[in-house]
Amino acid sequence: MTDHSPDTGARAPAPLGQDDPATVIVFGNEKGGSGKSTGSMHVTVALLRLGFKVGSIDLDMRQWTLTRYLSNRAASMKNEGISMPMPVHVFFSRSDKPNRQDAEAEDRTRFGAVLKKLRSESDFVVIDCPGTDTYVGRLATGYADKLVTPLNDSFVDLDMLANVDGRTGEIIKPSVYSEMVWEARKQKAARDGSSLDWIVMRNRLSSLAARNKLEMERVVGLLAKRIGFRVAPGFSERVIFRELFLRGLTMLDVFEIGDSGKPQLSHVAARQEVRGLLNALQLPNRIPTPHSSQPNDEAIETPPVIGDEGAEQK
Ligand X SMILES: Nc1ncnc2c1ncn2[C@@H]1O[C@H](COP(=O)(O)OP(=O)(O)O)[C@@H](O)[C@H]1O
312 binds ligand X (CB under 6 A): yes
Closest approach of Cβ 201 to ligand X, in Å? 10
Query: Which residue has its beta carbon closest to Mg ion?
Result: 37
Residues 249 and 41: their CA atoms lie apart, in Å, by 9
Nearer to ligand X, 6 or 307 (CB): 307
The least distance separating Mg ion from the CB of residue 217, rounded to whole angstroms, comes to 25
On whether the CB atoms of residues 256 and 49 are closer than 8 A, the answer is yes
Candidates 35, 85, 137, 142: give the one binding ligand X (CB under 6 A).
Answer: 35
Which position among 65, 175, 178, 250 is part of the footprint of ligand X (CB under 6 A)? 65
Report the alpha-carbon distance of residue 283 to residue 268 in Å, rounded. Answer: 23
Tell me the closest approach of the beta carbon of residue 60 to ligand X, in angstroms. 7
Of these, 34, 67, 122, 289, which contacts ligand X (CB under 6 A)?
34
256 contact partners, CB below 8 Å, separation of at least 6: 49, 84
Residue 130 contacts residue 59 (beta carbons within 8 Å): yes
Q: Is 314 in the site for ligand X (CB under 6 A)?
A: yes
In sequence order, which residues have a C-beta less than 8 Å from that of residue 313 and are 6 or more positions away? none
d(CA 170, CA 186): 26
Among positions 29, 44, 56, 65, the unique one binding Mg ion when judged by CB under 5 A: 65
The residue among 55 and 137 lying less far from Mg ion, judged by its C-beta, is 137
Look at residue 297 and give the partner it binds from ligand X, Mg ion, none, a contact being a CB closer than 5 to 8 Å depending on partner kind: none
Binder to ligand X among 16, 18, 33, 222 (CB under 6 A)?
A: 33
Nearest C-alpha neighbor of 60 from the set 130, 165, 131: 130
d(CA 143, CA 108) in angstroms, rounded, equals 12
Which of 15, 85, 76 minimizes the C-alpha distance to 54? 85
Per-residue binding letters, 223-252, with ligand X (x by CB under 6 A): ------------x-xx--xx--x-------
In single-letter form, the type of residue at position 227 comes to I
* Contact pattern from residue 9 through residue 48 relative to Mg ion, giving x for each residue in contact according to CB under 5 A and a dash for the rest: ---------------------------xx-----------
Could you tell me which residues come within 8 angstroms of residue 180 by beta carbon, excluding any fewer than 6 positions away?
133, 138, 141
Among 42, 204, 247, 291, binds ligand X (CB under 6 A): 204
Coil, helix or strand at residue 297: coil
Give the interface with ligand X as residue ranges (CB under 6 A). Answer: 32-38, 65, 131, 203-204, 235, 237-238, 241-242, 245, 312, 314
Give the interface with Mg ion as residue ranges (CB under 5 A). Answer: 36-37, 65
